[in-house]
Structure 1
Amino acid sequence: MTAKRTKARSGSVRAHWVILAAFLAALALALGVQGYTQHLAGIGDDSVATSGSADGVPPAVLNGGPVIDARSATVRTARPPERTLALTFDDGPDPVWTPKILDVLKAHHVHATFFMVGTAALDHPDLVRRVVAEGHEIGLHTLSHVDLGTVPEWRRNLEVEGVQRALSGITGQTATLLRPPYSSENAAVTSGEWTSIKATAGEGYLTVLSTVDSRDWSRPGADAIEKNLVPQGTQGQVLLMHDGGGDRSETVAALDATLTRSEGQGYRVTTVGDALGITSMRPAPPSERLVGTAFVWGMQVSGAVVEAIGWLLAASGVVTLARGVLVVAVASRHHRLARRARRRRDVPLRAEVTERVTVIVPAYNEAAGIEAAVTSIAASTHPVEVIVVDDGSTDGTADIVEALALPGVVVIRKENGGKPSALNAGLRAASCEIVVMVDGDTVFEPGTVHALIQPLADPRVGAVSGNTKVANRGGILGAWQHIEYVVGFNLDRRLFDLAECMPTVPGAIGAFRRDALLRVGGVSNDTLAEDTDLTMALCRAGWRVVYQDDARAWTEAPATLGALWKQRYRWCYGTLQAMWKHRGAVVQGGQAGKLGRRGLGYLLVLQVLLPLFAPIVDVFAVYGLFFLDPWRIALLWLAFMGAQLAMAAYAFRLDKERLGPLWALPLQQVVYRQLMYLVVIQSVFTALAGLHLRWHRMERYGSLSVPRPRQPTH
């Protein structure tokens, strides 16, 4: 491979992190937009004016007409002429009440001004178009219904520009009339509101207040609303009603009665613009229409994204809960069956497996731990032949083993060819019909080999997975991995055992029938997860693979985040390779079909798809803390952690482990979980890009020691 090609591939690998970062940024933006527009504000009691000082408000405003023009140095106000009623509606459009109000207006041949909330308009664009098509006037009521007199300038601009863009995107027109939410009459204008009125006037807007409040927002009854709308004298008025913000059935009834009465009394009911003789809506320039259309589409897309995420979150929550309930229930049953089998009570009695076993230890530069590993295996209570295959080590691994001069221990030296080639070399040299494979960084308890091979008394069983334990579990990273091994790996193995779909016998500890290995061609080097590939091949050949929880092996786990990343990256990528290689099992029958439809399906959903979705879950959780009820989000997280702790405590109890390390579980969910998800994402992108990942050898620390025998349990 040329240097140029290598650099290109490296760039391709790094590119997916840029894609992921861009995707998460876009997702955060979509969530932020939806959170701001849907949750940060909201339509409430639109008739309550903000309390505050009126210092600085010109007398012409406090004592003038309801339409305020502050676009020039001289502030002017206006009101409708004699016997003219400007009918206005706030807080819409509403899918239920706006159409009913439009029907009443149409029956009376009356037009009105609708001050619309931008988010409501975006949710119901067809209603906005109907309002315009039927000759009514539209005014602006901010994007998310906030008090413009109390928000900072950036948000005030966002609120006004946002609703204007929504209007231009939906109708192709712009509006110049603006009614601030929570405003009322001129005399109630405060200094903060006056500041916002002047600021919006600088953008060309006329502020429209009201002179007659129907108080329909308080739902006093249709008769009371009608009474509130009766004008005093013949002076022109601006009537305030609502077509959104709640149940407006009383408003609809009162409107019909009010229009009938007004017609009989000779009042002209019309829009604000028509009452004042101005044109408040104009076609938007092409550039503004384009921006408005993009804004509408963006809001709609962000809404669809949030809705889709909501459904996916619900689905992932159901899957996660179902998985937790399933693995705990199955683990409980597996434990009971295993205990009965050990007691030889209500299962058929089989002869104890006592024949000699070949233990193969592939070793490449394992000087740090090979002495402890080989010594522990040689000390087994079961008769063993130990074959250490030195795969071209450069650190004297073979010399260390030979210097031990342990009986029954043989060293084979070969050129470096990879772990599969070392295992196959040991397999060819094995003299026993039962073969145990163990990594060079793993130590056995004295009774491990004997316990591990007992399931092979069943002629249907071709391989047995042991129980891998983390030896160097000190520190936060060691505790996290210890929890993962006990709670994640071992609970899953119990499930796979009963479902007869075990996908992996770990390289750290596994027993096999020699003839079963030979029938599948030995250990393949097609994938980086040779143990998973081999296990799946055995399942597809019709062999059962089981889990023996009392066969314990102690392995050295990565002690740094970098080493952990390399190890899990290789594991995950290799597992994806094995899943793809054995995808044909999905349509097969028998033992192969169980692996394909149960095992591969479980791996695909729980170990690939859910981790890919995990970053979205985390972004959504932050969204919930900012825009939803943070206490509710915190309670949900605590409930989730409680369930995780309960499941972990049960798994620790099954493995006879102390509960002390579980203090690290909450932090594991915050830090370690994200690291594992990123590993999956990296592996999937690498696989999809068709890149070849080289073997990542883990650094050895020499922390292993020969374990003391455990007291037998009953």
Structure 2
Amino acid sequence: MTIPASLTWLLELASNYVFFYPLVMTHVWLAGAALYYIKWERGQPERIVLGHTPMVSILLPCHNEEDNIHDTIGWLARQDYPDYEIVAINDGSSDNTGALLDQLCTRHPRLRVAHLAENQGKAVALHVGALMSRSEYLVCIDGDALLDVNACSWMVSHFAYPNVGAVTGNPRIRNRSTLLGKIQVGELSSIVGIIKRAQRIYGRIFAVSGVIVAFRKSALADVDFWTPDMITEDVDITWKLQRAGWDVRFEPNAKCWILMPETLAGLWKQRVRWAQGGCEVFLRNAGVLLHWKQRHMVPMYLELGASLLWVYAVVMLSAIEVVDLLLGPGSTLPPWHLLLSTQNTFFVLMLASLLQFAFGLYLDSRYEKKLWKTYFWIIWYPLVYWLIIICATFVGLPKAVFKKKGKRAIWTSPDRGFKP
């Protein structure tokens, strides 16, 4: 396949961008995470003792959680925090979730339940819970999550600073019976944990973890709470709070044990939803480029745009390579095809990834013992997950572009794999 000379320079630029963008960002995240560790994590005590313990409302939106709700409420009832309530919101479940919650109310005096007649979506369920809550401080988890007994104390400690609007916690995966599950254990530490630490140092966090996050209710009211038509309400509320001037923090000591997909179909569905949510936020927040008061959000917005551009550059170059192979040996290989062998870019990129994985596991080893055992599995991340993420983002952007604005984002029961 012969490439016109006028396009060669553009394709060479795209090729260099595809291979060097993740390499540069790996070093950016590693540097930020190292600074975070030195500044806040090193020498930190394992437990925190608060001088002031304001009331906390734990919001628990539920949709078809009959298999998990007993365990989740049971863990919440054991919180090592003196003053808290549990507000469960049954969001139009079609299974036995509502009846089980009513039964649990008779056994747990801290628990109150609201029943929504129809599935309104997680954003609406959280909004209902916030309006029902008696506290200024809200801890939000998912209906299948097990909240660590000290998580509330760690997150509440940040609200001593009046500019803090939200604190995202540290989700830990508890189902790891398959290769996909084992890889995700390392992903949360080596990818998500590293990036959240770095973003905290650099000033802005891309997204709180919807499965474990605390909010100041007055901050939520300041931005009109969650947006019902955003498919990833956690990403959207993070941007809304930070655009309004609120600080969002990361607290790795606030652990929450969660279930994640362990089938390819479940993983694909999850990653497409995440990708679409990120693209929706990108499209709706373009205004940060036009307003001087929003300049603090510009670096994160540009980085999000750069990651989307990277995905489409990968797809474009891969398509050209496939066409070249189909044309057979008589075709002319484009010059960027030799980039891997001539500049050892692939080797350098893999080495940087392995370094990031090792450092991430080291940082999180204080929060989960024997985490190093997942290192063998996380090394497969570039081969398995990069392909899934690239394809999911390629699909997610058009879904975000053509989504009907105002259409409420309801949820369905996710594939959570198998419990250990």
Q: What's the counterpart of residue 92 of structure 1?
A: none
- CA shift for structure 1 position 676: 1.1
Identity %: 24
Q: What's the counterpart of residue 53 of structure 2?
A: 354
- After TM superposition, list the pairs within 5 Å mapping 1:187-336 onto structure 2: 299-301=2-4, 303-336=5-38
Q: Which among 351, 358, 363 is matched to residue 649 of structure 1?
A: 358
Cα deviation, 1:126-155, whole Å, max 9, x if unaligned, reads xxxxxxxxxxxxxxxxxxxxxxxxxxxxxx
Q: What's the counterpart of residue 300 of structure 2?
A: 599
Q: 1:695 to 1:487 in 2, by over 3 A?
A: farther
- After TM superposition, list the pairs within 5 Å mapping 1:477-626 onto structure 2: 477-589=180-292, 592-595=294-297, 597-606=298-307, 608-616=308-316, 618=318
Q: 1:338 to 1:353 in 2, by over 3 A?
A: farther
- CA shift for structure 1 position 686: 2.2
- CA shift for structure 1 position 317: 3.2
Q: What letter is aligned with 1:476?
A: L
Cα deviation, 1:252-275, whole Å, max 9, x if unaligned, reads xxxxxxxxxxxxxxxxxxxxxxxx
Task: Decide whether the 8 Å contact of 1:445 with 1:552 is kept in 2.
Answer: yes
Residue 410, structure 1, aligned to residue 108, structure 2: no
C-alpha distance in 2 between matches for 1:566 and 1:452: 30
Q: Unpaired runs of 5+ in structure 1?
A: 1-32, 34-298, 345-349, 706-714
Q: What's the counterpart of residue 261 of structure 1?
A: none
- CA shift for structure 1 position 689: 3.8
How many pairs does the alignment contain? 398
Q: Which among 401, 405, 414 is matched to residue 699 of structure 1?
A: 414
Residue 432, structure 1, aligned to residue 141, structure 2: no
Q: Which among 145, 161, 178 is matched to residue 475 of structure 1?
A: 178
- CA shift for structure 1 position 318: 3.3
C-alpha distance in 1 between matches for 2:386 and 2:340: 23
C-alpha distance in 2 between matches for 1:375 and 1:393: 20
C-alpha distance in 1 between matches for 2:198 and 2:186: 18
Task: Decide whether the 8 Å contact of 2:55 with 2:135 is kept in 1.
Answer: yes
Q: What letter is aligned with 1:663?
A: F
Q: Which among 66, 71, 77 is matched to residue 378 of structure 1?
A: 77
* Paired residue secondary structure (1:473): coil
Cα deviation, 1:168-224, whole Å, max 9, x if unaligned, reads xxxxxxxxxxxxxxxxxxxxxxxxxxxxxxxxxxxxxxxxxxxxxxxxxxxxxxxxx
C-alpha distance in 2 between matches for 1:632 and 1:363: 51
Cα deviation, 1:92-144, whole Å, max 9, x if unaligned, reads xxxxxxxxxxxxxxxxxxxxxxxxxxxxxxxxxxxxxxxxxxxxxxxxxxxxx
Task: Answer with 1 or 2: which has the greater Rg.
Answer: 1
Q: What's the counterpart of residue 455 of structure 1?
A: 158
Q: What's the counterpart of residue 632 of structure 1?
A: 341
CA RMSD, aligned part only?
A: 2.8
- After TM superposition, list the pairs within 5 Å mapping 1:1-400 onto structure 2: 33=1, 299-301=2-4, 303-339=5-41, 342=44, 352-383=51-82, 384-400=84-100
Task: Decide whether the 8 Å contact of 1:327 with 1:495 is kept in 2.
Answer: yes
Q: What letter is aligned with 2:347?
A: L
Q: Unpaired runs of 5+ in structure 2?
A: none
Q: What's the counterpart of residue 672 of structure 1?
A: 385
C-alpha distance in 2 between matches for 1:593 and 1:663: 41
C-alpha distance in 2 between matches for 1:329 and 1:641: 18
Residue 684, structure 1, aligned to residue 397, structure 2: yes
Q: What letter is aligned with 1:697?
A: T
- CA shift for structure 1 position 305: 4.2
Q: 1:300 to 1:396 in 2, by over 3 A?
A: closer
Cα deviation, 1:529-548, whole Å, max 9, x if unaligned, reads 11111111111211100111
- CA shift for structure 1 position 621: 8.0
Q: What's the counterpart of residue 124 of structure 2?
A: 421
Q: 1:702 to 1:358 in 2, by over 3 A?
A: farther
C-alpha distance in 2 between matches for 1:579 and 1:526: 15
- CA shift for structure 1 position 614: 2.2
C-alpha distance in 2 between matches for 1:540 and 1:610: 25
Q: 1:362 to 1:629 in 2, by over 3 A?
A: closer
C-alpha distance in 1 between matches for 2:141 and 2:222: 21
- CA shift for structure 1 position 430: 0.5
Task: Decide whether the 8 Å contact of 1:358 with 1:431 is kept in 2.
Answer: yes
Q: What letter is aligned with 2:350?
A: M
Q: 1:572 to 1:631 in 2, by over 3 A?
A: closer
- CA shift for structure 1 position 312: 1.8
Q: What letter is aligned with 2:300?
A: G
Task: Decide whether the 8 Å contact of 1:472 with 1:557 is kept in 2.
Answer: yes
Q: 1:409 to 1:629 in 2, by over 3 A?
A: same
C-alpha distance in 1 between matches for 2:339 and 2:129: 59
- CA shift for structure 1 position 494: 1.3
Q: Which among 657, 660, 682 is matched to residue 373 of structure 2?
A: 660
Q: 1:354 to 1:666 in 2, by over 3 A?
A: same
- CA shift for structure 1 position 503: 2.6
Task: Decide whether the 8 Å contact of 1:353 with 1:457 is kept in 2.
Answer: no
Q: What letter is aligned with 2:16?
A: A
C-alpha distance in 2 between matches for 1:418 and 1:685: 22
Task: Decide whether the 8 Å contact of 1:356 with 1:382 is kept in 2.
Answer: no
- CA shift for structure 1 position 695: 4.3
Q: What letter is aligned with 1:391?
A: D
Which structure is higher in RCO with an 8 Å CA cutoff and minimum separation 6? 2
Task: Decide whether the 8 Å contact of 1:520 with 1:537 is kept in 2.
Answer: yes
* Paired residue secondary structure (1:659): helix
